[in-house]
Structure 1
Amino acid sequence: MDALIRILVEDVLIFANSDEEQMAEDFAVVQLERIASDLLSAGDGPIQQFHRVVEEMIREAKGSGNESRQLLLQSLPSHLGLI
């Protein structure tokens, strides 16, 4: 399940950080809203697992010195309304 969460996180980062030349803004916003809604309706267990995987990804980004990715990942749960 962790691998699927990692894929979801990468997709969220793409939707959140693409510009209009890469992806229609309305499409990206709708997808982010859908993902956030689905996560919120999944219940506490999946949300906790999502947080755990994001924390792992933050540690990996920090370990590799990728500060911009670390900051994006740190803000991800709040942008999705999960905290």
Structure 2
Amino acid sequence: MKRPGRREDHVRRMLDGPHPQVPADLAERATERGGRILRRHRVARALALTVLCVAVAAFMVWAVVVQPWQVPPAETTPPLESW
């Protein structure tokens, strides 16, 4: 069998040793931080959706005004052959 590596020995010693004290308000701080992160994500998502809707509306207005699907009128006149 293979002998465990130095890292594994170090981790085993750390886990066997005394555990540090956990702050009493750790759960409250984690809950507050998680709530802030969720609110930021919600605001960012709503902002992105709003920007997307405005961009689609602007594109629709542009398309109705410019009508890019129509062939542009000819800028030169056809040659006269009957003269």
With normalisation by structure 2, the TM-score equals 0.28
Pick the structure with more helix per residue. 1
Bigger Rg, which one:
2
> Higher relative CO (CA 8 A, sep ≥ 6), structure 1 or 2?
1
With normalisation by structure 1, the TM-score equals 0.28
